[in-house]
């Protein structure tokens, strides 16, 4: 049995440490203000954690499950929102039909 070395194992997209694709990309060191959207998504995630509805690990798993194109295109808190929604659906906190209805009910 030959053991696989780390370099032989396909990297998941979120596993960014040392990947070559960003080596020449400068870091945007400027401050970016959070939006109301960002703050609310963050707050709801904390509340879902505090109430044991959904854990940080579940949030991460949902983010890491996003298709690559979405992961790269979406903002940080948009990823969170999609992960939270998918996780809550999977856990049966609400159903797809309830979500669709709630979307429809928005004026």
Partner 1 sequence: MQTSDVDHDRLLTALRSLLAAKGITTAAEIAERITITDAATPARGAAMVAKAWVDPEFRTLMLTDGARAAESLGIPMRGMPPLGVLENTRTQHHLVVCTLCSCYPRAVLGYPPFWFKSNSYRARAVRDPRRLLAEWGTVLGDDVALRVVDSTADYRWMVLPVRPMGTRGWSEAALAGLVREGDMIGVTTPQLPSGTATLAK
CB of 39 to partner 1, least distance (A): 5
Supply 21's token pair: 């694709």
| 51 near partner 1 (CB under 8 A) | yes
Helices (H), 1-107: 36-50, 56-64, 68-73, 76-90, 96-104
* Contact between 54 and 80 (Cβ < 8 Å): no
| Cα distance between residue 78 and residue 1, in whole Å | 43
Choice between 8 and 71, CB closer to partner 1: 71
Kindly list the residues in this chain that would bind partner 1 in the complex (CB under 8 A). Answer: 14-19, 21-23, 25-32, 34, 37, 39-44, 46-51, 53, 56-57, 60, 63, 66-67, 69-70, 72, 76, 78, 81-82, 84-86, 88-89, 93-94, 96, 98-99, 102-103, 105-106
């Amino acid at each position: 049995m030959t053991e696989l070395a780390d370099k032989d194992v396909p990297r998941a997209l979120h596993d960014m440490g040392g990947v070559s694709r960003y080596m020449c990309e400068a870091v945007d060191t400027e401050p970016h203000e959070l939006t109301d959207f960002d703050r609310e998504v963050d707050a709801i995630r904390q509340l879902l954690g505090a109430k044991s509805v959904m854990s940080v690990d579940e949030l991460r798993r949902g983010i890491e499950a996003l298709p690559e194109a979405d992961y790269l295109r979406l903002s940080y808190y948009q990823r969170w929102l999609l992960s939270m929604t998918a996780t809550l659906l999977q856990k049966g906190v609400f159903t797809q039909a309830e979500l669709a209805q709630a979307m429809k009910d928005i004026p």
